[in-house]
């Protein structure tokens, strides 16, 4: 029998839970994006001064890419313990690790002071950042998904997703203020440290909010059932990773495919466009940056709207619309950027991010609804973070290499279209999850029992209806 659905939490409590997740993801993305901006502005001079300027920039961006490489490891470790110990404990740890690493970067001695130890320490702290971010996303979206009213799960779970544009706006805004107030010499000498040290304040605020929320009731109920089964002499639980790969391998592949267009399009639209607009069309860096900043504010606003729409018509239709949109928009995007004017550039980036939001908004609830409770943190994190290594991490590098080889945006547009087709295929074969009752996905498969209750979904009236197991063969 499916477990009864939990009653919706009080609105004040739910708002506090959403705020805790949103603040945490904003801090995490602030730290992650801040590093990327600093890598372009000052790290090549401060940590790789012996290199040719271009080589120094490439080396600083290499340390940036290291953060992506550490995210799958964070997904594995945080997913494992998040499924064993709970979402809240691991979210507190991820926030401390991310904020602590960022704060420590602000205190790092440079190459002029400690020599080659400086870039080594910088790389180590970047690894910690990536490791923490790999665990942050899954826990943040699950805490909201497992607390929220099932009828509006897509809307509420989309709010932690707004942490990405919020973090980018905050990081870029703080850097812009510092560069505007300080001379180049002062910013290079000490001003660059201030945004990193500010992360310490943001972490304190995030911890204050995050410690005030309760553990997910869905997780507590699943943990109680697992403990009761063990008390009755049932077999020990398998490791969450093993259970995910055995019972949810199909869902992991779907999640990875779903992330391809979402991840690749985001970094082409927000990161590579800065290179393309300045080097290929002659626009100033500030003009390109302003377009991304304004479009990011729009991105923040449309994500909850797309999430709410996914509650009405389903996760798959909204996601498919976004994937098709970024594919169709690929050629018009570059045509508008090639106009050499700010207005068309802003339109190109804004429409691209609106379509991206149609994928990013329902993604949180969609991935959470795919997996059983006692393996949900592992499954959602693995599916999301392993794909980022193949999608988001190399996307700006691949786009830059294609531009250098062909001196044309056509191959880059085809690259985005290929990613969109892959995502359309992955989401197209997925099952709709909108009406799934998270309490009915009770984790029987973790103990190796029959998967009878694994795929039960809630019908329109809230009752349980039988379905094929989501993660079965």
When mean pLDDT is compared across 155-164, 177-186, 439-448, the lowest value belongs to 439-448
Per-residue pLDDT band for 429 (boundaries 50, 70, 90) equals very high
Is 278 within 8 Å of 405 (Cβ atoms)?
no
What is the percentage of the chain residues whose pLDDT exceeds 70? 84
**Cα separation of 345 and 342, whole Å?**
5
Closest CA to 150 of 444, 343, 365, 420: 365
Give the CB-side neighbour count of residue 348, counting CA atoms within 13 A. 28
**Cα separation of 410 and 271, whole Å?**
18
Q: 199-202: long-range contacts (C-beta < 8 A, 24 or more apart)?
A: 199/27, 199/30, 199/31, 199/34, 199/99, 199/102, 199/103, 199/106, 200/99, 200/103, 202/26, 202/27, 202/30, 202/99
Per-residue pLDDT band for 57 (boundaries 50, 70, 90) equals low
Please give the structure tokens belonging to residue 155: 């809307």
pLDDT of residue 5: 44
Most confident of 164-168, 305-309, 450-454: 305-309
- Whether the predicted pLDDT of 374 surpasses 80: no
Query: In a 10 Å sphere around its CB, with 0-12 CB exposed, 13-18 middle and 19+ buried, how is residue 71 labelled?
Result: buried
**pLDDT (mean) for 233-254:** 77
Which residue did the predictor score with more confidence, 28 or 108?
A: 108
**pLDDT (mean) for 218-224:** 79
- Whether the predicted pLDDT of 171 surpasses 70: yes
**Cα separation of 360 and 306, whole Å?**
9
User: DSSP characters for 236-280?
Assistant: PPPPHHHHHHHHSHHHHHHHHHHHHHHHHHHHIIIIIHHHHHHHT
pLDDT of residue 452: 32
Residue-wise pLDDT tens digits, 255-266: 999 999 999 999
Closest CA to 258 of 430, 400, 7, 89: 430
Q: How far is CA 359 from CA 120, 228, 306, 326, 402, in A?
A: 37, 39, 8, 10, 25
pLDDT of residue 2: 40
pLDDT of residue 154: 92
Per-residue pLDDT band for 12 (boundaries 50, 70, 90) equals low
pLDDT of residue 59: 65
Q: How far is CA 104 from CA 91, 122, 243, 291, 299, in A?
A: 20, 9, 37, 31, 30
Most confident of 188-192, 222-226, 268-272, 346-350: 346-350
H or E element in which residue 465 lies = strand 464-465
**pLDDT (mean) for 81-85:** 84
Residue-wise pLDDT tens digits, 316-367: 999 999 999 999 999 999 999 999 899 999 999 999 999 999 999 999 999 9
pLDDT of residue 9: 52
- Whether the predicted pLDDT of 173 surpasses 70: yes
**pLDDT (mean) for 186-194:** 89
pLDDT of residue 237: 59
**pLDDT (mean) for 281-291:** 82
Residue-wise pLDDT tens digits, 405-415: 898 999 999 99
What is the percentage of the chain residues whose pLDDT exceeds 90? 32
Is 283 within 8 Å of 333 (Cβ atoms)?
no
Mean pLDDT, rounded, of the chain: 82
- Other C-beta atoms within 10 Å of 461: how many? 7
pLDDT of residue 56: 57
pLDDT of residue 345: 95
- Other C-beta atoms within 10 Å of 239: how many? 15
Q: What are phi and psi of 61, to 5 degrees?
A: -70, -25
When mean pLDDT is compared across 3-12, 148-157, 329-338, the lowest value belongs to 3-12
pLDDT of residue 461: 32
H or E element in which residue 133 lies = helix 117-147
The DSSP call for residue 215 is P
Per-residue pLDDT band for 460 (boundaries 50, 70, 90) equals very low
pLDDT of residue 61: 62
- Whether the predicted pLDDT of 52 surpasses 70: no
Q: What are phi and psi of 457, to 5 degrees?
A: -125, 155
**pLDDT (mean) for 14-25:** 84
Q: What residues contact residue 93 under an 8 Å CB cut-off, 6+ apart?
A: 78, 135
- Whether the predicted pLDDT of 200 surpasses 80: yes
- Whether the predicted pLDDT of 463 surpasses 70: no
pLDDT of residue 304: 96
- Other C-beta atoms within 10 Å of 344: how many? 16
When mean pLDDT is compared across 59-73, 197-211, 273-287, the lowest value belongs to 59-73
Question: The pTM is what?
Answer: 0.82
């Amino acid at each position: 029998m499916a477990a009864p659905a939990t009653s919706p939490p009080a609105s004040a409590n739910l708002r506090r839970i959403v705020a805790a997740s949103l603040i945490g993801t904003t801090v995490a993305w602030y730290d992650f994006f801040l590093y990327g901006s600093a890598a372009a502005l000052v790290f090549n001079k401060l940590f790789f001064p012996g290199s040719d300027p271009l080589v120094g920039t490439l080396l600083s961006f290499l340390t940036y890419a290291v953060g992506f490489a550490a995210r799958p490891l964070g997904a594995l470790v945080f997913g494992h313990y998040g499924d064993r110990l709970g979402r809240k404990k691991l979210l507190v740890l991820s926030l401390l690790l991310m904020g602590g690493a960022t704060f420590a970067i602000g205190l790092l001695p440079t190459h002029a002071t400690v020599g080659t130890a400086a870039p080594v320490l910088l790389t180590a702290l970047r690894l910690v950042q990536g490791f923490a971010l790999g665990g942050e996303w899954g826990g943040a979206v699950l805490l909201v998904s497992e607390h929220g009213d099932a009828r509006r799960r897509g809307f509420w779970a989309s709010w932690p997703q707004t942490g990405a544009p919020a973090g980018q706006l905050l990081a870029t805004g703080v850097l812009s203020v510092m560069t505007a107030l300080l001379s180049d010499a002062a910013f290079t000498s000490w001003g660059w440290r201030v945004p990193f040290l500010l992360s310490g304040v943001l972490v304190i605020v995030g911890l204050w909010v995050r410690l005030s929320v309760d553990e997910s009731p869905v997780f507590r109920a699943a943990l109680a059932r697992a403990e009761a089964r063990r008390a009755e002499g049932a077999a020990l639980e398998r490791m969450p990773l093993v259970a995910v790969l055995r019972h949810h391998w199909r869902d992991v592949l779907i999640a990875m495919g779903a992330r391809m267009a979402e991840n690749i399009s985001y970094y082409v639209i927000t990161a590579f466009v800065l290179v393309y607009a300045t080097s290929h069309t002659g626009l100033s860096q500030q003009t390109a940056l302003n377009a991304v900043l304004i479009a990011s504010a729009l991105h923040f606003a449309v994500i909850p709207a797309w999430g709410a729409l996914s509650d009405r018509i389903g996760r798959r239709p909204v996601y498919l619309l976004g994937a098709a949109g970024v594919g169709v928009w690929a050629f018009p995007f570059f045509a508008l950027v090639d106009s050499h004017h700010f207005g068309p550039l802003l339109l190109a980036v804004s429409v691209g991010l609106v379509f991206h939001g149609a994928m990013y908004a329902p993604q949180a609830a969609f991935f959470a609804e795919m997996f059983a409770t006692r393996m949900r943190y592992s499954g959602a994190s693995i599916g999301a973070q392993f794909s980022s290594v193949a999608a988001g991490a190399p996307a700006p590098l691949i786009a830059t290499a294609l531009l250098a080889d062909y001196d044309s945006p056509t191959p880059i547009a085809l690259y985005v279209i290929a990613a969109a087709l892959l995502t359309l295929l992955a989401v197209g074969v997925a099952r709709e999850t909108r009406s799934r009752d998270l309490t009915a996905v009770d984790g029987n498969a973790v103990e190796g029992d029959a998967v009878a209750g694994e795929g039960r979904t809630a019908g329109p009236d809230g009752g349980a209806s039988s379905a094929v197991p989501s993660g079965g063969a």
